[in-house]
Homo-oligomer: A and B are copies of this chain.
């Protein structure tokens, strides 16, 4: 029998808490026989939740009590200092102690990142972890980082992101030499700032498959696997993409509901519209990895429903199977980037 994979699920997390996290966890357990899940949270409420299901605590499902919850708007420093028995913190502690292989949370991004970094520590050579996620693109999904953990980055950090993104894509997509691009703007003479130019020079000299600059539209329309940028730009790009997709969906709904003819058209187009809707469904892209840590932590969107949270758990499972942190560590060593940065830099 295959080695079991054990995941901690921060069951109290997200906008919907138990009503989303528990059904998603149980659904994953049903699909993956080697999966074990530790539900972390209020044990009384968790037991009550399980009463209505076909599952009970046993070999593949356990409950780890945690008396506190980190609020969605709680400052990270406060969560770190005062919520040491929160479901978030306990889930990450379980990763640290080796009792689980990874943690999944829909909790607040800042607090989860601060907790993960404090408890798990970064890999040798990594200044700061990054947030990475797969986005839909015309040829294949593209992994973009950083999506918001580091508002300002220096060239070394961008290079670290490139290494981490490459290792992740090699692991989850099975590509030997992922194509890495730096996100930039196109206007001549103001092409990029000094940080991006310095990162480009380093990446050209590296063993990574660096293919050059890509502009905002190229992220989605060209053949690149990893797009690297600072967390401010990455977050704006991610949210802009979400905003435009919602805007088009809204316009489409308005046009199809306009009159009896357009409504009939919508009926006739249902198969294509459903397929389209599925392809751009943000729930299918839910789940962001915190990379650069000595452990696996997956962040789900706070507003995730059970289907979306299920995807985040699947992502954790895949990263455990592929041992992503060890791959990142190895690639850092082979790139000569596993040493702490000298203070001079």
Contacts and interface: CB of A to CB of B under 8 A. Distances in A.
A76 B252 CA distance: 41
Q: Give the interface SS of chain A, mostly helix, strand, loop or mixed.
A: helix
Contacts of A248: 245, 248, 276, 280
Nearest to A238: B216
A73 interface: yes
Contacts of A151: 185, 190, 192-193
A109 interface: yes
A262 B258 contact: no
Interface string A181-206: 00101111110110000000000000
Interface stretch (A28-36, A44-52, A227-235, A306-314): A227-235
A148 B258 CA distance: 37
Contact of A240 (B186, B189, B240, B273): B240
A108 interface: yes
Number of this chain's copies in the complex:
2
A279 B255 contact: yes
Counting chain A residues whose Cβ lies within 8 A of the other chain, the interface size class is 35 or more
A342 interface: no
A269 B266 contact: yes
Given A185-B236, A269-B256, A231 B190 contact: yes
B247 A276 contact: no
Among A76, A150, A232, A252, residue most surrounded by chain B Cβ atoms (within 10 Å): A232
A155 interface: no
Interface string A263-293: 0111111111101100110000000000000
A153 to B, nearest CB: 11
A77 B189 contact: yes
Given A217-B246, A247-B220, A255-B272, A76 B236 contact: no
Interface of A: 73-77, 108-111, 114, 136-138, 148-152, 183, 185-190, 192-193, 215-221, 229, 231-233, 235-248, 250-252, 255-256, 258, 261-262, 264-273, 275-276, 279-280
**Top 7 nearest A-B pairs by Cβ distance?**
A216-B239, A217-B243, A265-B269, A268-B268, A216-B240, A220-B243, A185-B235
23 contacts: A76-B189, A109-B187, A111-B188, A148-B187, A148-B190, A152-B193, A185-B231, A187-B235, A193-B232, A215-B236, A216-B239, A217-B240, A236-B236, A244-B244, A248-B276, A251-B276, A251-B280, A255-B279, A258-B272, A261-B271, A262-B272, A265-B269, A266-B272
Given A110-B190, A220-B247, A268-B269, 8 more contacts: A74-B188, A76-B189, A110-B187, A151-B190, A185-B236, A220-B243, A221-B243, A265-B268
